[in-house]
Copies of this chain bind each other. A is one copy, B any other.
Amino acid sequence: MSDKAPRGIRLVIALTGRRNAGKSSLINAICGQEVAIVSSHAGTTTDPVGKHYELLPLGPVTFFDTAGLDDQGELGELRVKATHKVLYRADIAVVVVGEDGITKHERSIIARVQELSIPLLVVFNKNDLAAPKDADLAWCAEQGFVPSVVSAETGENIDELKAQLIAAAPQEFKEEPLLLGDLVQPGEVCVCVVPIDLSAPKGRLILPQVQVLRDLLDHDAIGLVSKEHDLPATLGRLAEDPALVVTDSQAVDLVAKNVPERVALTTFSTLFARYKGDLPALVEGAKAMDSLKDGDTILIGEACSHHTLEDDIGRVKIPAWMKKYTGKTLNFEVFSGHDFPEDLERYSLCIHCGSCMLNRREMLRRIRECRRRGVPITNYGVAISKLQGVLERIIAPFGL
């Protein structure tokens, strides 16, 4: 794809509707024809066309025109597959209703969108030509949603529709995520446990550690840095218990033993699982480890293929720990890159890397796709805590 913004940070809008429903003019009316960056590529029935626009104040958006779910024949089946693919990744679904009103076509896609918990907007376009039928409005009310009634041609209600689109965008498109400012109050001490081993880059700290220290300062809190073996002495240097101890996952086992139960404890990975993703979803996913069966296949997901250290964790350490923890014979498969495997549903669990190379929106999208397709998903950090028996403790500070 020729894409100005990285693919992951664009708001993905699945747009569906009959050929004559006025989808293109609706997009132009919403985004402003003059600023629209229309980069249309040759799409296939299985790889739908994305059209890129600017939707201020949200920024870049991609509209995918989907075929719907009631197509017949072999080609129709491919189109249905393509529609599913778009819906798995969609942030918002917009169903554009034209002069034919709501038919079986619209109903089936609305049902699927609701099943996948995708924010839905139903738009009656062409109000300048014909008002929506009373029966259709009644059906919408029955279904529990209020459709928009607009005219791309005259601009009627377009501003309202734009505001609804922005309101429907996932929260992560609208606000800064929390790192740990809510866990440590102004003036409180947070102890950061930083092991210095051979993999630590010489003369500096790694970025997540620096980000945590900076976030503490930004919240008027006090950050304290200690090696794992010095932790008992470090705690002794404080007049009272710290508000929180954050440790590298590598040392969580040792640190958990040395931090009194009354002191809140978590890991850098867990902070970033929340900052970069959906912590409750990843914790929920980790619980799937307890119900794995012999022969189950686990998907190890990597955001990039460049780091041998993470390879080691995903390809060697986690499989070994899981074998020990579950006592089952499990298969592990690794994927890296952008799209999940087509047959994602055959995996019993997806364990994703810490996604240091992904932004929050992209990671949330991956989590969401797994959940929409019924596959539990967790990440390396949360998985390791689960396997080491400290998960409950390290998620307690988040009220989970």
Contact = CB atoms under 8 A, between A and B. Distances in A.
Contact of A223 (B186, B224, B238): B224
B239 A213 contact: no
Nearest to A188: B237
B224 A214 contact: no
A349 interface: no
A240 interface: yes
B204 A204 contact: no
A131 interface: no
A222 B225 CA distance: 6
B220 A189 contact: no
Contacts of A20: none
Interface in A194-249: 194, 196, 203-205, 207, 210-211, 213-218, 220, 222-227, 230, 233-234, 236-240
B216 A220 contact: no
A218 B238 contact: no
Contacts of A196: 214, 217-218
Contacts of A203: 211, 214-215
A213 B222 CA distance: 14
* A189, A237, A240 interface centre (most CB from chain B within 10 Å): A237
A187 interface: yes
Given A214-B203, A217-B227, A189 B237 contact: yes
A205 B216 contact: no
B187 A233 contact: yes
Contacts of A204: 207, 210-211, 214
A227 B220 contact: yes
Given A187-B230, A224-B225, A236-B239, A194 B217 contact: yes
A57 B81 CA distance: 65
A200 to B, nearest CB: 8
Contacts of A222: 224-226, 230, 233-234, 237
A394 to B, nearest CB: 22
Contacts of A237: 187, 189, 222, 238-240
Interface in A102-143: none
Contact of A214 (B205, B230, B233): B205
A107 B187 CA distance: 68
Contacts of A240: 237
A389 B222 CA distance: 28
Nearest to A211: B203
Given A238-B238, A240-B237, A216 B210 contact: no
A390 to B, nearest CB: 23
A319 to B, nearest CB: 31
Contacts of A217: 194, 196, 225-227
A320 to B, nearest CB: 29
A210 B211 CA distance: 11
A312 B214 CA distance: 25
Contacts of A233: 187, 222
A165 to B, nearest CB: 29
28 contacts: A186-B230, A187-B230, A189-B237, A196-B214, A196-B217, A196-B218, A203-B214, A204-B210, A204-B211, A205-B210, A205-B213, A210-B210, A213-B213, A213-B225, A217-B225, A217-B226, A220-B227, A220-B230, A222-B224, A222-B226, A222-B230, A223-B225, A223-B226, A224-B225, A225-B225, A236-B239, A237-B240, A238-B238
CB-CB nearest 3 A-B residue pairs = A223-B225, A224-B224, A187-B233
Given A194-B217, A203-B215, A204-B211, 14 more contacts: A196-B214, A196-B217, A203-B211, A204-B207, A205-B210, A205-B214, A210-B210, A213-B213, A222-B237, A223-B224, A224-B225, A236-B239, A237-B239, A238-B238
